[in-house]
Amino acid sequence: MSVQPTHNLSLAELDRRSFLHPFTPLADHLEIGPRVIVEGEGAWLRDLDGQRYFDAMAGLWCVDIGYGRPEVVEAISQQARKLSYYHAFSSMATEPSIRLADRLIRLAPEGISKVFFGNSGSDANDTNVKLVWYYNNLRGKPDKVKIISRRNGYHGVTVAAASLTGLPLLHKAWHLPIPEVKHTSCPDVYRGKPDGMSELDYSRQLAVELDELIEREGPDTVGAFIAEPVMGAGGVVVPPEGYFQAIQAVLDRHDVLMIADEVICGFGRLGHWFGSDRYGIRPDLMTIAKGLTSGYVPMSGSLIGDKVWQVIVDHSREVGPFGHGYTYTAHPVGAAAAMANLDIIEGEGLVDNARTVGAQFQRRMRDAIEDHPLVGHVRGEGLIMGIELVAGRASKQAFDPRHKVAVRMVQCCLAEGLIVRSLPGGDVIALSPPLIVTADDVELMVGRFAKGLDKAAANLRADGIWRG
For the segment 8-24, what is each residue's pLDDT rounded down to a tens digit?
Answer: 689 999 999 999 999 99
What residues form DSSP beta bridges with 261?
Answer: 287
Residue 303 CA to residue 128 CA, distance in Å, equals 9
Residue 178 is predicted with a pLDDT of: 98
Q: Which one-letter amino acid corresponds to residue 445?
A: M
Query: Mean pLDDT across the chain, nearest whole number?
Result: 97
Render pLDDT for 141-162 as a digit per residue (tens, 0 to 9).
999 999 999 999 999 999 999 9
Residue 468 is predicted with a pLDDT of: 85
Helix pair 350-369, 439-462: axis angle to 10 deg: 40
**What's the pLDDT band for 6 if we cut at 50, 70, 90?**
low
CA angle (153, 312, 277) in 5-degree steps:
40
Render pLDDT for 167-204 as a digit per residue (tens, 0 to 9).
999 999 999 999 999 999 999 999 999 999 999 999 99
Residue 383 is predicted with a pLDDT of: 98
Residue 166 CA to residue 121 CA, distance in Å, equals 16
Q: Residue 227: name the closest of 250, 213, 253, 247 by CA.
A: 247
pTM, 2 dp: 0.96
Judge whether 439 and 71 are in contact, CB under 8 Å. Answer: no
- Give DSSP secondary structure letters for 58-111: HHHHT-TT-B--HHHHHHHHHHHHH-S----GGG---HHHHHHHHHHHHHSPTT
Residue 9 is predicted with a pLDDT of: 82
Mean pLDDT of 56-77: 98
- Please return the burial class of 258, using the count of CB atoms within 10 Å of its CB with bins 0-12, 13-18 and 19+: buried
Judge whether 235 and 423 are in contact, CB under 8 Å. Answer: yes
Check pLDDT > 60 for residue 3.
Answer: no
Number of C-alpha atoms within 13 angstroms, CB side, residue 260?
27
Fold topology of 71-347: Aspartate Aminotransferase; domain 2 (3.40.640)
- Domain coordinates of the chain in residue numbers? 35-65+349-462, 71-347
Check pLDDT > 90 for residue 332.
Answer: yes
Check pLDDT > 90 for residue 130.
Answer: yes
**Straight-line distance from the first to the last Cα atom of the chain, in angstroms, rounded to the nearest whole number:** 56
Residue 12 CA to residue 428 CA, distance in Å, equals 28
What residues form DSSP beta bridges with 429?
Answer: 387, 422
Residue 349 is predicted with a pLDDT of: 98
**What's the pLDDT band for 7 if we cut at 50, 70, 90?**
low
**What's the pLDDT band for 425 if we cut at 50, 70, 90?**
confident
CB atoms within 10 A of CB 313: 13
Q: Determine what percent of the chain is predicted with pLDDT higher than 70.
A: 98
Residue 357 is predicted with a pLDDT of: 98
3-state helix, strand, coil in the chain (%, to 5): 45, 15, 40
Check pLDDT > 50 for residue 279.
Answer: yes
DSSP conformational letter for 394? T
CATH of 35-65+349-462 among 3.50.50.60, 3.30.420.280, 3.40.50.620, 3.90.1150.10: 3.90.1150.10
Judge whether 415 and 452 are in contact, CB under 8 Å. Answer: yes
Render pLDDT for 297-325 as a digit per residue (tens, 0 to 9).
999 999 999 999 999 999 999 999 999 99
Check pLDDT > 60 for residue 265.
Answer: yes
Render pLDDT for 220-255 as a digit per residue (tens, 0 to 9).
999 999 999 999 999 999 999 999 999 999 999 999
Check pLDDT > 50 for residue 1.
Answer: no
Check pLDDT > 90 for residue 133.
Answer: yes
